[in-house]
Amino acid sequence: MSRSVKFKKLLLLSERDSSARSQSFTSPRTLLLGTNGTGKSRITKGLFWAMGCAPSKFVIGAWDPDIAAALYFEWKGEEYFFLRHGKRLGMFGVDGNLLFAADRMSAWDRHFAQFFGYKLKLSRHQGAGYAPAGPSFLTLPFYMDQDGSWAASWDTYTDLKQFNRWKSPVFEAFVGVRPNAYFEAKSVRDEIHSRLQDKTRELDAQKAAFERVAEVLPKNLPTLNYSAYRKELAELGQLTVAVQRAQANLRAKLVATVNDREKLQSEIKLALATQRELSSDLSFLSDVSTDALECPTCGTMHKNSFHARLQLAQDSDTINALVAELRKRLDRVGVDERALRQGLNKAASDLDGIDRLLRRKKAKLELGDVAAAHGKKSLDQAFMKVNSSLGQEIKKFKLAEDQQQAKLQRYEDPKRQAAVRKYYADQVRSFSIGLNVDSSEQIAKPKAGGRSAAGGSSAARSMLAVHLAMLRSNVEYGDSPEFPFVVDTPQQSGQANENLQLMIESLVKAAGHEHQVVLAVEEVPPGTDLSAYDVINFEHKQGVLTKGAYPEVRRALAPALELLRDHLDDAQNQQLVLG
């Protein structure tokens, strides 16, 4: 199946400015043409920023720092799109279904590498382990950014320095000196080796510590009765469990008691309100002289009889009795609650006491270990235990390392490696000659990842030759995805018209057959053959985003942005609850 990744469309959305851009890439070769400041670089940087890369100077000046970008692409016959909004990244199916989301680059790098089958893992600085090489490393040879790619160092992205000694494995994997599977196996072996070294250093440190103890401490000190000590610890552990169970039981009872108290308080409050109303009604009826009362609401006439007043008095007595009963029950509940709280305080105190006793016994045990180590025999026994445990782990890691090394060796093919290196060097020389790089300024011994030290206008053409050679070698020997080749502003260092024409036309001839090409230029020399390019003109300064495109782009991205935000917010809230 084809390894080609095809860019379909880039959407940029600024809610702050109510402006947007929809840029399609319907042709295999696209030329973005416009003077400086018209927004060509925003498009090229946006392509890779949307994937999770870190192109330099993407968000600068008046550019909205909260910009959202979506890159629609095709891979292995299926269409997807990447969506990025600040630190939030998501991958969607073309139907808008969220396939993956992350707000941490490490998680995104793992997904990106897995999705594209990029097996390379790189070493963090200061022995901090290995991690998958993310989109910035996979796409590095496919992008020449005007702000970071035309100099003698690899500065296309700002996150390249997160790994230690990354250049050799990244570029050798890209040009195919070794297959992708080699670097996957190598990263596994390197991780095993790193853990083996950690265990070996731990064993050495333990050995040195035992030797120091043997040298400076006196001999023949009494040892600790371990059997009795273990029994005491077991008994304390059982006591702890019993107290904890009692504590849990008391908590459950306290919760029920507190609920009863709150319920009684509510009932008393309601009864007192009823009591006040009955007393008020009885007082009112007693003071009224007439035998009939008219309802102010409905106009119904009611009799003010002795029987009515007697009934109110009886209701008042009943509610008074109820209030008294509820208060007695509340007093009893209060007594129960205080007793339960005292019981909980005692359980907590008991647990604290057990914990202090355990700490003292553990300290006594450590002191007993040290005292026992004073004797040569006890010291030797202790070291043998440590040595046996670590020795088994070291043996296990050595066996795993040997097995992985054997697997790694199967991918070593010196003849193939020599052929790939020669092919790459020949391509660099061929493209350098084709791009009119003076022989004195060509790379003397081209190797994957090497950059030209040429000066003047030759430097840019030499850099282009390096990238074209890497792409050609990747097609011939590599097995990683083939992304579009994006080149921003090749007219570096004052290219003469004939050399700029060479660069524009060579891009199509050298890379256009296997790769989609996106080229951004400020001007095209007269006579340049642009028949292979779909030319898109950028005519307005600071006009890459427009008000007119905003409604359509917002309609396209709003559901995905909301889905991405909600998914990550829910995941973060769930993590906080579990944490």
pLDDT at residue 32 in the model: 95
User: pLDDT exceeding 70 applies to what percent of the chain?
Assistant: 86
Q: Which two tokens stand for residue 90?
A: 């998501």
Q: Rank 152-161, 376-385, 554-563 by mean pLDDT and report only the highest.
A: 554-563
Specify whether the CB–CB gap between 251 and 348 falls below 8 A. no
283-341: pLDDT as tens digits: 766 666 555 655 566 655 555 566 666 676 777 778 888 888 888 888 888 888 788 88
Least confident piece of the model among 90-104, 316-330, 518-532: 316-330
Residue 373 has pLDDT above 50, yes or no: no
Residue written as tokens 């897995």? 114
Helix axis angle, 414-434 relative to 497-511, nearest 10°?
Answer: 140
Strand partners, 537: 33
262-279: pLDDT as tens digits: 888 888 888 788 878 777
pLDDT at residue 294 in the model: 59
Residue 376 has pLDDT above 60, yes or no: no
Phi-psi region of 563 (alpha: psi -120 to 50; beta: other; left: phi over 0): alpha
Residue 5 has pLDDT above 60, yes or no: yes
Distance CA 437, CA 36 (A): 26
- pLDDT range class, residue 493, cuts 50, 70, 90: confident
pLDDT at residue 147 in the model: 87
Distance CA 446, CA 452 (A): 9
pLDDT at residue 305 in the model: 61
Specify whether the CB–CB gap between 82 and 73 falls below 8 A. yes
For residue 7, which of 68, 54, 55, 50 has the smallest C-alpha distance?
A: 50
Residue 379 has pLDDT above 90, yes or no: no
Q: CA distances (Å), 438 to each of 367, 444, 455, in order?
A: 77, 12, 11
Residue 547 has pLDDT above 70, yes or no: yes
Instruction: Work out whether strand 29-34 and strand 19-24 pair parallel, antiparallel, or are unpaired.
Output: unpaired
Distance CA 268, CA 325 (A): 9
CA 106, 109, 113, 114 dihedral sign is positive
Distance CA 114, CA 109 (A): 8
Residue type, 52: G
Half-sphere exposure of 296 (CA within 13 A, CB side): 0
187-241: pLDDT as tens digits: 788 788 878 888 888 878 877 777 776 666 555 554 555 566 677 777 777 888 8
Q: How many residues does the chain have?
A: 579
Residue 168 has pLDDT above 60, yes or no: yes
Least confident piece of the model among 76-85, 433-442, 448-457: 448-457
Strand partners, 88: 85
Q: What's the pTM?
A: 0.67
Specify whether the CB–CB gap between 408 and 248 falls below 8 A. no
